[in-house]
Structure 1
Amino acid sequence: MNTNQLGALILRVVLGITFFIHGFVKFQGGIGNIAGWFESIGLPGSLAFAVATIELIGGLALIVGLGTRLVSALLAIIMIGATLKVKLAVGFLGNGQMAGWELDLAFLAMALYLALNGSYALSLGKTLGLSKREEVAAKR
């Protein structure tokens, strides 16, 4: 395993753990409450279910290395939406009552890296033979 593969593995697992926990907390705290909050900011409440599901299942998929590029692309879209709809107005570092978008930007960068480059080291996708193209591209 070279340093690029190791770096991608670290990004994949950390991003996966982070989003898994975010999705878990959304369901644990009552997804109906999250749906209500989505509606209060002008988004469909059903979008809360989609976001929480992508975070929960997608986070787990990243941890085990399954569908890394697709999941990362979906998480990048979520981060863009969260930044534009919620965080942008409070500034990069926040306003003292709400966090800014600096962490969202970091998650976006991590997700974009993984969406563009993948991560097959210690991945279930590699074990199942689902990431051969990705593995060959990484060796170039």
Structure 2
Amino acid sequence: MNKSVSTILRVVLGILFVAHAINKFQTGLPNISGWFQSLGLPGALGYVVAYTELIVGIALILGFMTRYVSAIVIVLMIGAIFTAKLSVGLLGNGQMAGYELDIAFALIALHLVFTETTPLSLDALFTRNREQ
């Protein structure tokens, strides 16, 4: 696939993850923690997910450790599907979104796991510096 398309996918996925993290912070991490508890998960996991989404998003935007960060995205999306979204179906139930977006995010991340380092990334900069 064209490296510029991969770059766009990486940056857009990063922006979307930052947006999701910001939404969690604006909603209030105690509220997110409570929602996680309502799903039968540890409340502290809400904090971990919010900060992970923020860090992952920034790393993707910058192109830093893209393959590893993309693997984390896949794990997050699988976790979201099986803990929160599976019961509401692919398209949701009118009160909650389904898991279609989670699948799309995971597939973009899977593409990035197997893509060569893209230009305009810290990964490319570090690779060039190592080769010199």
Instruction: Give the structure-2-normalised TM-score.
Output: 0.90
Q: State the alpha-carbon separation in 1 of the partners of residues 68 and 95 from structure 2.
A: 34
The reply on whether 1:83 has 2:115 as its aligned counterpart is no
Query: What is the number of equivalent residue pairs in this alignment?
Result: 131
Q: State the alpha-carbon separation in 1 of the partners of residues 20 and 34 from structure 2.
A: 17
Contact in 2 for aligned 1:126/1:132 (Cα 8 Å): no
Q: Deviations over 1:46-92 (max 9, x none)?
A: 11111111110110110011011111111111100111111111111
Taking every aligned residue pair, what percent have the same amino acid on both sides?
A: 52
Q: Gaps (5+ residues) in structure 2?
A: none
| CA-CA distance at 1:95 after TM superposition | 1.6
| CA-CA distance at 1:97 after TM superposition | 2.0
| CA-CA distance at 1:116 after TM superposition | 2.4
Q: Secondary structure at the match of 1:129?
A: helix
Matching residue of 2:45 = 47
Q: Secondary structure at the match of 1:128?
A: helix
After superposition, where does 1:52-131 map in structure 2 within 5 Å?
Answer: 52-129=50-127
Matched letter for residue 92 of structure 1: L
Q: State the alpha-carbon separation in 2 of the partners of residues 130 and 83 from structure 1.
A: 38
Q: State the alpha-carbon separation in 2 of the partners of residues 44 and 132 from structure 1.
A: 42
Q: Gaps (5+ residues) in structure 1?
A: 134-140
The alignment's C-alpha RMSD in Å is 1.9
Regions of 4+ moved over 6 Å: 130-133
Q: Secondary structure at the match of 1:117?
A: coil
Q: State the alpha-carbon separation in 2 of the partners of residues 105 and 131 from structure 1.
A: 35
After superposition, where does 1:1-40 map in structure 2 within 5 Å?
Answer: 4-40=2-38
Contact in 2 for aligned 1:9/1:119 (Cα 8 Å): no
- Relative to 1, partners in 2 of residues 1:116 and 1:86: Cα closer, same or farther, differing over 3 Å? same
- Relative to 1, partners in 2 of residues 1:28 and 1:98: Cα closer, same or farther, differing over 3 Å? closer
- Relative to 1, partners in 2 of residues 1:131 and 1:110: Cα closer, same or farther, differing over 3 Å? farther
Q: State the alpha-carbon separation in 1 of the partners of residues 31 and 50 from structure 2.
A: 12
